[in-house]
Amino acid sequence: MKNIYEATSETIEKAASVIKTGGLVAMPTETVYGLGANAFDNKAVAKIFEAKGRPSFNPLISHILDIEQAKEFAILDERAIRLASKFWPGALTLVLNRKENSSNMDMVCAGLNTVTVRIPDNKIALDLIEKSGVAIAAPSANVSGTISPTSAIDVYDSLGEKVDMILDGGKCKIGLESTIIDLTTKNIVMLRPGGIAVEEIEKFMGEPILFSKGNHKLPTSPGQLLSHYAPEKKLRINVISPEKDEIFIGFGKMKCDYNLSEKRDFLEAASNLFSMLRLADGDKSQPKIAVAPIPNENLGLAINNRLDRASYPR
Ligand code: TXA
Ligand code: MG
């Protein structure tokens, strides 16, 4: 594990020079660990696709320091400014129209004329962006289609030494990816439920938000791929009584092997989701996994969205 470094001002400085010279750095964010590269360096971004084994039609999120930085390459309308001012730094990603002079972002935008940004709520990530002096493109730091990483060791287990440096910032606070909102159409559309509840965004904007399930054969967002976030083991959802050959992941007070949240707290459940899926996957006691029902409200929507895809028959 010689590429894992505890995040200190020296190691962040070193990681910034890796970013500036076109390398890959895995960084902690409040949602999940990201596999970062200079968003303005098409070749560096290509290394991300290669390391993840990700289908190249998927655009990546550019992580930035402040709203001013977004204005350099994206067009922010009044809705974007309102949302950004309210929820950034935080688990909200905005899909925006891209400015024309940004061919250095062709790779990160996967050739689309939209660009996707957020300010992460994590001091290490912000420090790294600042010291690098660029926007940092970062998808989740795992092999495409597998469970997202919420600790430095998860990143290492998935990507090993394909990453130049993994900055260890401990466990991610939220543990679930950001909510993605598309602002390039008249109606506000959610492409992926995530760390900020859509109800909260709707309430703040005072208008309904549509949920696009998209075309899963040509997704605008991999959150829309039917099989994604998948463990190796077969997984059943909405299970009340598990079979003998299933490891049971519970929610609320119940007999189970792992409990997402005894208190039925959505934030706690979200932050445990990926790590418990990973534990259940590695648990040799039973060959299958079952998960108890989670109410489809608040962050439960994002949790169920991930579980649906994790359970899709492959
Ligand atoms: O919390 C997160 O969002 C984490 C951390 C590292 O920031 N990142 C993350 O990235 O989950 P990724 O690449 O695994 O998911 C980003 C999603 C993808 O599903 C991608 O297809 C979608 O955002 N996306 C990016 N740009 C897009 C665009 N222009 N139009 C539609 N979807 C877009
Ligand atoms: Mg991902």
* pLDDT tens-digit series, residues 13-34: 999 999 999 999 999 999 999 9
**Is the same domain home to 57 and 158?**
yes
In a domain, 222, yes or no: no
**Is the same domain home to 254 and 206?**
no
Using most ligand atoms within 8 A of CB, pick from 24, 106, 126, 140 the residue to mutate for ligand 1: 140
Q: How far is the CA of 112 from the centre of ligand 2 (A)?
A: 19
pLDDT tens digits for range 35-61: 999 999 988 988 898 898 876 557 899
Tokens, residue 246: 């299933």
Contact criterion met (CB below 8 Å) for 267 and 298:
no
Reported as half-sphere exposure (CB side, CA atoms, 13 A), residue 229 has a value of 29
What was the pLDDT predicted at 157? 96
Check pLDDT > 90 for residue 102. no
In a domain, 224, yes or no: no
Question: Which residue's alpha carbon is at the smallest distance from atom 9 of ligand 1?
Answer: 139
Tokens, residue 277: 């899926």
Using most ligand atoms within 8 A of CB, pick from 166, 177, 188, 226 the residue to mutate for ligand 1: 177
In a domain, 219, yes or no: no
| Residue 270: band (very low, low, confident or very high) from pLDDT cuts 50, 70, 90 | confident
What was the pLDDT predicted at 218? 46
**Is the same domain home to 206 and 238?**
no
In a domain, 226, yes or no: no
Burial 189-225 (b: 16+ CB within 10 A, else e): bbbbbbbbbbeebeeeeeeebeebebeeeebbbbbbb
* Residue listed under structure tokens 């250095």: 104
Q: What is the mean pLDDT of the chain?
A: 91
Structural domain boundaries, residue 296? 234-310
**By C-alpha distance, which of 77, 52, 54 is closest to 67?**
77
Which distant-in-sequence residues (6+ apart) come within 8 Å of 132 by Cβ?
A: 16, 19, 20, 38
Rounded to two decimals, the pTM is: 0.86
Q: Which ligand is nearest to the CA of 55?
A: 1
What was the pLDDT predicted at 261? 96
pLDDT tens digits for range 115-139: 999 999 999 999 999 999 999 999 9
Between 3-7, 145-149, 299-303, the lowest mean confidence (pLDDT) is in 299-303
pLDDT tens digits for range 172-198: 999 999 999 999 998 999 999 999 999
The total domain count for the chain is 2
